[in-house]
Amino acid sequence: MAWLGVLCLALLCGQASHAQAPTRLRAWNIHPDGYPVTEAMKGFAAQVARATQGRYQIEVFSNATLGDQPKAVQMLKSGEIDIAEFSSGPLSDAVPGIKVLNLPFLFTDSAHMFRHLDGALGQRFAANLQAAGFVVLGWYDGGGRSFYCANRAPANIRDLAGASIRVQQSEVFMEMIRLLDAKPVALPFKDVLGGFQQGAIDCAENNMPSYESTGHFKLAKSVYVTNHVISPEALVVSSALWARLSPEDRKAFSDAGAQSALLMRELWNRRVAQALENTARQGAQFVRVKDISPFVRRMAPLYSKYMADPTTREELLTIIAK
């Protein structure tokens, strides 16, 4: 009978060894260590590990070390990465209705945006994204974007006329600049500083932490605080990973995602205040828009275009109704 004891011991050891082998997952984001997104994702990873008793171990790869955002989208779909934090750009490629979130002057502030995204509209976007391969675990804050200039000091809408303004390669952003009687210049984000140095652009537009962390404030001292676009980002897992999770593990991932979103928003608000303080101390000058109505009137053709589009009309109506 001794052989039975040996067999039982071997089986138990095998089970223990199996239980101790965690499933390792890879998470991508474009931001550096210490950035609110990165720190919130690390919090997400730690909470998942606790909730699953270490069965899932998530390694966060920051600073786009695994590739840029378009590549990361493909990596998520192919299974090379399991989790990612994306801006609204690639998400709107998958679900066109999300494009409305990039319309200028749509939200008054981030709290206004999250009232929709944490409610029925966010649930509708999440359902559509899941069908496209992205399971949303939390909505992050992409921040309010404003103009900053090197060769002019805008204080009203007329002061932007004729300026060469860097924007991301986005139909909405480029049309917005044209409607301001300015010239859109689509440059990769990494080339913006060189654009200022070479005189290829007069202005750019982005959120304040990006304005500070890139050093753009050293050349573009004049900031026109318009918060013209307030858009979200999203923490997502691949639908392939989601399909493999048990109901209990799905709840663990969902709870951790929701908590990470709240943490990210808190860290983001602190980072914005820090960026404003630091850049002002080093000479940046801030002029806040007093009346957005002239901007809103200029954007009328853009709003009309998206209101006429059946893929975005319902979402746009939902937002402007509340």
Query: Can you spell out the DSSP letters for 219-268?
Result: T--EEEEEEEEEEEEEEEEEHHHHHHS-HHHHHHHHHHHHHHHHHHHHHH
Nearest to 38 by CA among 260, 227, 238: 260
* Distances from the Cα of 271 to the Cα of 143, 268, 276, angstroms: 10, 5, 9
Q: Where are the domains of the chain?
A: 18-320
Quote the pLDDT of residue 7: 44
pLDDT tens, per residue, the chain with 322 residues = 444 454 454 444 555 444 568 999 999 998 889 999 999 999 999 999 999 999 999 999 998 899 888 899 999 999 999 999 998 878 888 888 888 998 999 998 999 999 999 999 999 999 999 999 999 999 999 999 999 999 899 999 999 999 999 998 788 899 999 999 999 999 888 899 999 999 999 999 999 999 998 899 999 999 999 999 998 999 999 999 999 999 999 999 999 999 999 999 999 999 999 999 999 999 999 999 999 999 999 999 999 999 999 888 888 888 887 6
Quote the pLDDT of residue 11: 47
Residues whose CB is less than 8 angstroms from the CB of residue 35 and which lie 6 or more positions away in sequence, other chains included: 62, 209, 213, 271
Quote the pLDDT of residue 169: 78
Q: Which residues pair with 204 in a beta bridge?
A: 148, 166
State both tokens at 42.
């690390």
Residue with tokens 């109506």: 317
The Cα–Cα gap between 194 and 185 comes to 13
Give the DSSP H or E segment for 294: helix 293-298
Query: In terms of CATH, what superfamily is 18-320?
Result: Bacterial extracellular solute-binding protein, family 7 (3.40.190.170)
**pTM assigned to the model:** 0.86
Quote the pLDDT of residue 19: 55
